[in-house]
Amino acid sequence: MKLLEEIKSSDLIENRAQLLTRLSQLDVEENSDLPSFVESLTTLWEDFTCLDVSLCLLNKAILPVASKYLALDRPDCSHYFLAFAIKVSQWCAKHLNMSVMSMEESQEEEHSNIFFQLLLDYLRFSASSFTAIGKTCFMTDDASAVTVHKFVSEQLNLTKELIMNAKKVESFSSEIFKAVQVVIDSTVRLCKEYSQTVNREVSEMKTSGHVGKARMEEGNAVGNLVSMITLGVKSLSELGMLAARDGGNLVAILNTSWKGVITLLQLDKQTLVSKVDVGEIILKLISLIKDSLRFAAEAWSCSVKENISATEARRVFLPVKFYLINAVKVVALFPSQASMVSKDIALCILMISAFKVSLSQQTHGKSASEVMTDLLEKTTVDLLGALLNAAELTQEFRLTLLDSLFVDEFSNQICKKQSHDSHTKTSLVDILSLSVESATSARDLLLARVVLFQSVMRYSFELDKDAKLAITTKLQWLLDILADKEVYSSVLSSQLPMADGSGKIVIWESMYSALLLSLKTLMIILSSTPAWEELETFLLQNLLHPHFLCWQIVMELWCFWVRHATDDLVVDMINQLCTFIMSMPSSETPLCPDSVLRRTTKSICFLLTHSPKSLTVQVYKHISTESRSDHAPDVYLALLLDGFPLNFLPDRIKNDAKRQIFADFFNFIEKFDEKPSNSSRYTLLGAPVFTVSACLRILKMSISEIDAKTLNFVVALIQKYRNSKDETTKERYSEILSETLSIISRSEQLYTCQEMDNVITELQKLFNSETNHHHNHLRKSKPNLALFLSGLSKYEMSETKKCPKSIAVWELYHMLLRKRHWALVHHAVTAFGYFCARTSCNQLWRFVPEDAALAFDIASGKEAKTERFMSELKMFLEKEQALLSITPSEEELELLSKEGTEVKATVQKLLEGRSQRSMEVEKRPNKKRKLPEGICRGMELLQNGVKRINEGLNELRSDENESEEFQKSLSNQFSCLEDLVSHLLSLTAASD
């Protein structure tokens, strides 16, 4: 080629550039010595950075010529073009750095523009080179493979330099970014094409019987391919990091880079395991997640007063979701390698949960927390699930991983650290900076751990059976953490954004409700897995949990189980619980709320209250009728004290139970002054009193049968209390007195009895004498004393200072209203308010002492004033009244209106359907049909039966031994039967 020789022989750069331009315009000579021609172009390219624009113009003129001949698609020349591209890319990288440094100089502006145009031309040539070499696999030949590897490496290095300096060349940045994207795509596509070709060729060799050759070829080709894939993974992950830290301007390159990493990792998993540092890739993604969250935390902490918009939140959390999704894919592909950085993964997951909790607790972060829930909650759980579901990992690893998230050893040290750490709150920015080691003991992450566990349970349906079992073992940890005062107070008072059932809408739910819902979801998921036994064990072990919130949660789960279990299972479980309480030693007193007996009966009563009524009947029969144990009455008392649902019993059984309870009570108060005997079925002194009090409380009723004997019993009880020297006995008498006062407060007729004067006087003397006593046994009686005093509105008093009755009542109220304990203040003020609203007394000020608890200044505790008491009383009563009235929100009214419209439409449809059916019936011919013989015969038998029953009732009425109540009940039932039979007879008569 003569023109090429002229170019070589020319010493002037400008002349060379002109000749090259002419060459690019000539037709391609296909028969020319192309390899030699490309080598000449490579030689012509000056490999040192130019000092002026002329050299750039020369090199720029070479590229169109090279591109024209590359298009000939000559596989035998591919490595010559690659050598040319390698030299050009190295030169471009060096020149780029020089151009960026000298861009501020005005005289270099033209030079820089020419260079960047050249650079764009080269990037297009590079993309064409990828396409050309993709048509032929060079992986089987080591020399060619090295050239391809070098070419890819140089292109990716140049791409990296371009991304790092792209901001400095804004005029070309958009075109450069597009070209960079093409290079990344081309790299990934080349690796995919080579992988498919290698696999296909090796498979064909094995099929044709050349196994030995296939193994040799496979060894060479796969080794070269893996080397190139490894290079691609490392370089693209670095590009992804650079693009992520550009502040959102390189979103396209960010997506392309990380998607490319995942695609390359999927090409040859087995071989890449030992070549690629998977842990490093995961750590890079984790660092991007934490950096994004930390940046947002810093920005949002500076603008506390401004609400974070949903748009701004999406801008922050969408990239985080992208990183999470890629991390999930990497972990799922290489779980064994990912397990090496499991602590970092766990910390990242925990940070996301902490971020969500923090936002949800801040007014300005509500919208952001909703967006975060929508975008990140499920994906975060997926990241954990990718490790838990890995078949290659052991159960021991799963448990260790969960321990790092839901720390066992930390829960044991909560109480020790609580007082020290509870006053210092760590900022969200500091939390996001915690290391793996420091995060273990960070109290601020406690609630985040609970919220995370709630999310894991909610989405546990995607876990395999071993992972579900591992999750179930951490349920005890959950209860241990909930016992912490800061955690349970937050669980009860906080709200969380949650995806609704469809997963499309985010709603706000109380944390307690969310936790319960997730636990119930877990129960359903575990019902058909081996982990169910672990869950059953957990429920049984915590049936008597001492912490109120933990017990409440466990009982809710028990009730959920009862509602969905088979009848046989539930009956068997109830029988076992009954057997358990009946087998307890007699030392278990029913009056001690913390005893095992009372804790068990409390759980049983809760269960029965939220279960079918048939279970209540079953327990009642087991305890009161079927059991012959001497311990049964005490168990029965314990059940009543814990609210045994007597209302669930059938009327006949309930009436029998009430009759027995009141008979025992009247028998006890009548024989109270006599010497104790062993005739009582109870082992506890005063048990009938406790039983009646509990019964009245459960049934919310009063009984007219209680008369003045009860008032005389109170006086006798006070005398015995005074005369008793034994402190234990005095304690028991004070408990009996308290329950008796509760009984009287529910019996309004007693307040008009003459014996009430003596009771009030004795009570006033008793409580005044015990005020400064070392063993103040009456302290527990004061709430029921307040109940008793509230009923005095029907008691007649003269309201003079000479009236002993009035003085006694005043002093009793004075004593109660002086008490400063918050619970006693509540009881006393409630009782006094009830009394004031119903009494005919005019001098109410006499009931209030000058030093009443509510009369004191709250801040100083001094300067008691009656006006302050009256003001506080008014506020208290207004609050109590406010609790009874509910003001619906606009949202609730809209929902009610919508539901009402739907119900109205449904009713209208039903009415229209009924009207249509009635019209159809009217149109039918009014034909009488003869009834079948069986029905007629049955009606005759019914008539005869009614006659026989009527005769039997007449005989029963003449029997004086039968109770009148039973006869009355039977007569009522028969009357209903008679009406029903008459109605049936009229129907059959109309049909004849």
Task: Supply the pLDDT for residue 347.
Answer: 93
- Torsion angles phi and psi, residue 52, rounded to 5: -140, 180
**Beta-ladder partners of 507:** 498
* 267 and 146 inside one domain: yes
Does residue 634 belong to any structural domain of this protein? yes
Does residue 614 belong to any structural domain of this protein? yes
* 857 and 958 inside one domain: no
Does residue 412 belong to any structural domain of this protein? no
22 pLDDT tier (thresholds 50, 70, 90): confident
- Indicate whether 473 pLDDT > 60: yes
Question: How do residues 654-670 score in pLDDT, each as one tens digit?
Answer: 999 999 999 999 999 98
- Indicate whether 986 pLDDT > 80: no
Over residues 738-766, mean pLDDT: 91
* 879 and 979 inside one domain: no
Average pLDDT of the chain, as a whole number: 83
For the ranges 243-247, 377-381, 750-754, the one whose mean pLDDT is highest:
377-381
Last residue of a domain, one of 242, 275, 308: 275
* 860 and 941 inside one domain: no
Q: CA 428 → CA 68, 298, 335, 493, 989, distances in Å?
A: 59, 8, 30, 20, 84
**What is the DSSP-derived secondary structure letter of residue 377?**
I
Over residues 959-968, mean pLDDT: 64
- Indicate whether 392 pLDDT > 90: yes
* 154 and 268 inside one domain: yes
Task: Supply the pLDDT for residue 205.
Answer: 62
Question: How do residues 656-706 score in pLDDT, each as one tens digit?
Answer: 999 999 999 999 998 887 766 555 677 788 999 999 999 999 988 877 778
For the ranges 68-77, 168-177, 209-218, 386-395, the one whose mean pLDDT is highest:
386-395
* 590 and 685 inside one domain: yes
Task: Supply the pLDDT for residue 416.
Answer: 45
Does residue 258 belong to any structural domain of this protein? yes
* 693 and 822 inside one domain: no
Does residue 679 belong to any structural domain of this protein? yes
Does residue 362 belong to any structural domain of this protein? no
**Beta-ladder partners of 510:** 495
Task: Supply the pLDDT for residue 412.
Answer: 46
Task: Supply the pLDDT for residue 421.
Answer: 47
Q: Which of 368, 371, 384 is nearest to 428 (CA)?
A: 368
Residue 209 zone, left/alpha/beta (φ > 0; ψ -120 to 50; rest): left
Give the lowest-confidence range in 11-25, 393-407, 962-976. 962-976
Task: Supply the pLDDT for residue 417.
Answer: 46
* Cα-trace Rg, the chain: 44
Last residue of a domain, one of 675, 700, 725: 700
CA distance 662 to 667: 8
Does residue 676 belong to any structural domain of this protein? yes
Percentage of the chain beyond pLDDT 70 is: 81
* Cβ neighbours for 12, distance < 8 A, ≥ 6 positions apart: none
Over residues 325-347, mean pLDDT: 95
- In single-letter form, the type of residue at position 290 comes to K
Are 710 and 744 in contact, with CB atoms under 8 Å apart? yes
- Indicate whether 941 pLDDT > 80: no
> Which one has a higher pLDDT value, 520 or 276?
520
Last residue of a domain, one of 275, 308, 335: 275
CA distance 457 to 468: 9
Are 733 and 778 in contact, with CB atoms under 8 Å apart? no
Q: Which of 261, 221, 81 is nearest to 138 (CA)?
A: 221
726 pLDDT tier (thresholds 50, 70, 90): confident
Domain span including residue 688: 565-700
Task: Supply the pLDDT for residue 441.
Answer: 64
* 971 and 841 inside one domain: no
- Indicate whether 902 pLDDT > 90: no
* 843 and 937 inside one domain: no
Question: Using DSSP, how many helices (H) and how many strands (E) does the chain show?
Answer: 45, 2
- In single-letter form, the type of residue at position 549 comes to L
CA distance 604 to 642: 9
Over residues 253-263, mean pLDDT: 93
Question: How do residues 557-604 score in pLDDT, each as one tens digit?
Answer: 999 999 999 889 999 999 999 989 888 887 778 889 889 999 999 999
Long-range Cβ contacts of 359-365 (<8 Å, 24+ apart): 359/308, 360/494, 360/495, 360/496, 360/497, 361/494, 362/304, 363/307, 364/300, 364/303, 364/304, 364/305, 364/306, 364/307, 364/308, 365/300, 365/308
User: How far from chain centre, in Å, is Cα 424?
Assistant: 26
How many domains would you assign to the chain? 4
Are 265 and 272 in contact, with CB atoms under 8 Å apart? yes
For the ranges 135-139, 268-272, 649-653, 873-877, the one whose mean pLDDT is highest:
649-653
Question: How do residues 836-893 score in pLDDT, each as one tens digit?
Answer: 888 888 888 888 888 888 777 666 556 666 677 777 777 776 765 554 445 555 655 6
Tell how strand 506-510 and strand 495-499 pair up: antiparallel
* 840 and 947 inside one domain: no
Question: How do residues 532-547 score in pLDDT, each as one tens digit?
Answer: 999 999 999 999 999 9
* 141 and 270 inside one domain: yes
* 689 and 591 inside one domain: yes
Question: How do residues 630-656 score in pLDDT, each as one tens digit?
Answer: 788 889 999 999 999 999 999 999 999
Name the residue with tokens 């997506």. 255
Over residues 941-963, mean pLDDT: 72
Task: Supply the pLDDT for residue 422.
Answer: 46
CA distance 401 to 20: 65
Does residue 224 belong to any structural domain of this protein? yes
Q: CA 489 → CA 84, 196, 517, 531, 659, distances in Å?
A: 71, 59, 18, 30, 44
Task: Supply the pLDDT for residue 337.
Answer: 94
> Which one has a higher pLDDT value, 524 or 272?
524
Task: Supply the pLDDT for residue 420.
Answer: 45
CA distance 696 to 289: 61
